[in-house]
């Protein structure tokens, strides 16, 4: 097994507290509303605390039916959220899991910089390509931007 680490950042006009609430604390409600073209439903298995499983079901016609995330930890005070993609989606016989460490940091004018560290745990001698990593990030950013647009269009949500 190999581990490939990749850092990326995304900037948003939404405040860290509101973005954290939408993406982490109320994601099961927000994701399907913000991205109905991609996300059918979100199921929280257990209580949402450390070790809980979150299953995101995608609409028909997308390359993946679902993904399962395992919550590794979150800190509401510091707007950080860690989880691992453990089943479905881009995983298969070449990638065992993908771990994410996300932190929402305040930037100028109330904006947020979402700093993300991803670790791809590959199976055997498989080496993930830069194109595969970029495709994964692109899908992730697509949902992220849909949620951002939803929050901008609905200023009363997640305040």
* Mean pLDDT, all residues of the chain: 92
Render pLDDT for 80-118 as a digit per residue (tens, 0 to 9).
999 999 999 889 889 999 999 999 999 988 899 999 999
pLDDT over 90 (residue 7): yes
Share of the chain above pLDDT 70, in %: 100
Q: SS3 letters for 14-50?
A: CCHHHHHHHHHHCHHHHHHHHCCCCEEEEEEECCCCC
Classify residue 80 by its DSSP letter: E
In a domain? residue 96? yes
In a domain? residue 156? no
Q: State pTM to two decimals.
A: 0.89
In a domain? residue 158? no
In a domain? residue 137? yes
Cα(57)–Cα(68) distance, rounded to whole angstroms?
9
In a domain? residue 159? no
Q: Determine which of 16-25, 97-106, 127-136, 143-152 has the lowest per-residue pLDDT on average.
A: 127-136
Average pLDDT over residues 108-137: 91
Q: Any idea what the CATH number is for the domain that residue 66 is in?
A: 3.30.530.20
Cα(8)–Cα(102) distance, rounded to whole angstroms?
10
In a domain? residue 143? yes
Q: What share of the chain is helix, strand, coil (3-state, %, to 5)?
A: 30, 40, 30
pLDDT for res 63: 87
Q: Strand 112-122 vs strand 95-106: parallel, antiparallel, or unpaired?
A: antiparallel
Question: What's the burial of 113, exposed, middle or buried (CB within 10 Å: 0-12/13-18/19+)?
Answer: middle
Q: Which domain holds residue 114?
A: 1-151
Q: Which long-range contacts (CB under 8 A, 24 or more apart) does 100-107 make?
A: 103/78, 103/79, 104/16, 104/19, 104/20, 104/79, 104/80, 105/16, 105/79, 106/15, 106/16, 107/11
In a domain? residue 20? yes
Report the domain count for the chain. Answer: 1
């Amino acid at each position: 097994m190999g581990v490939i680490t990749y850092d990326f950042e995304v900037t948003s006009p939404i405040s860290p507290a509101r973005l954290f609430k939408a993406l982490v604390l109320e994601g099961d409600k927000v994701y399907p509303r913000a991205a109905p073209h991609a996300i059918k439903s979100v199921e929280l298995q257990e209580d949402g605390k450390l070790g809980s499983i979150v299953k995101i079901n995608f609409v028909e016609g997308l390359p993946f039916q679902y993904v399962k995330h395992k919550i590794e930890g979150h800190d509401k005070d510091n707007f950080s959220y860690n989880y691992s993609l453990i089943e479905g989606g881009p995983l298969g016989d070449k990638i065992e899991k993908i771990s994410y460490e996300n932190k929402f940091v305040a930037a100028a004018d109330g904006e947020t910089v979402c700093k993300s560290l991803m670790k791809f745990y590959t199976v055997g001698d498989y080496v993930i390509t830069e194109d595969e990593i970029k495709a994964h990030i692109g899908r992730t950013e697509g949902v992220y931007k849909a949620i951002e647009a939803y929050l901008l269009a609905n200023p009363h949500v997640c305040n």
